[in-house]
Structure 1
């Protein structure tokens, strides 16, 4: 704006911030929802609401898994180092090592109103298919959580 009005940028900043009381905001990315997606979401919400009677919310077990990257995150714009000279900064701080395929760790967890499941750490290099998922996660964890959570009550397992 300062170029557009041929005014010093600091003068324009003071005018906008101090005089007008405005501040700058970044635009946010959101998921695009067209009419078809909105209709599907509404239909599914109505089905879910009808499926669970009031007071049965505590009989739902939600689960999800997440892949965590074990590498230092860096944002060159925001991660700054203050120093008098570039030579004064140790290399261990100045440089961040990066690789194309960083180490990662997959973790699975389940949660409900009362009991939680144990965290399950998927072993490195293990390929997850439906059979492995059932043997590693569902059978031991859902069974133990189900005993605590759903004693003689109908239950629902909601993944993702």
Structure 2
């Protein structure tokens, strides 16, 4: 509605077209049009949430009820649904997302050796004797591929399959670096890094690992025990 014409002029124009309205009505219409044009509020649209069909729910369950499930984005693309719909279906069918734990791959002989040694170790550490021990070990840190296996999996809350949460690793190791450390009931030792390319023999282990451990870590960890004596 152009602003150059007055309310009276617009009333007369409408009257010629067979529309009889008052000057106040024309003014109200003009004011309402201006309010809508200058409004900063966004128009709200409401839509119903898409309903997951039984076939879609079945496809989602078949996709996630495996050891290495695909991503929710891939499932949504395969089911022609949104990712939020797939996430809602997973919650409705009582599945939960868990991160897998990396463990060493054990052979049958390894399992048998650990079973026999565990009993002897328990007898040595029983009756608070574990407080007199420091457990030390060294480990490699490296960038390792997953070999196509996902680091996460879905398990049922009502009937969890914890075997899916285990990600076994082969014994072969890529190039990396080694770190030595220890822990006891009184605290932890300092971290000692093995230089890359160094040959780990008895001389290196004694001079760079054991001697600093005995001269620095042991007195620090067991200082309170000496004072009590």
Q: Normalised by the size of structure 2, how large is the TM-score? A: 0.38
Q: Which residue of 2 is the match for residue 137 of structure 1? A: 209
Show structure 2 runs of 5+ residues with no match: 1-57, 60-77, 151-173
Are 1:120 and 2:192 matched, yes or no? yes
| 1:22 positional shift | 4.6
Higher relative contact order (CA 8 A, sep 6+): 1
Show structure 1 runs of 5+ residues with no match: 3-7, 79-100, 153-160
Write the mapping of 1:4-153 to structure 2, written as runs, cut at 5 A: 9-10=79-80, 17=90, 20-22=93-95, 31-32=105-106, 34=108, 36-69=109-142, 104-148=176-220, 149=222
In structure 2, the residue corresponding to 1:128 is in which secondary structure? coil
C-alpha distance in structure 2 between counterparts of 1:24 and 1:115, whole Å: 34
C-alpha distance in structure 2 between counterparts of 1:144 and 1:18, whole Å: 52
C-alpha distance in structure 2 between counterparts of 1:146 and 1:18, whole Å: 51
What's the RMSD between the two structures over aligned residues? 4.4
More helix by share: 2
Q: Which has the larger Rg?
A: 2
Q: Closer, same or farther in 2 for the Cα pair 1:39/1:9, shift >3 Å? A: same
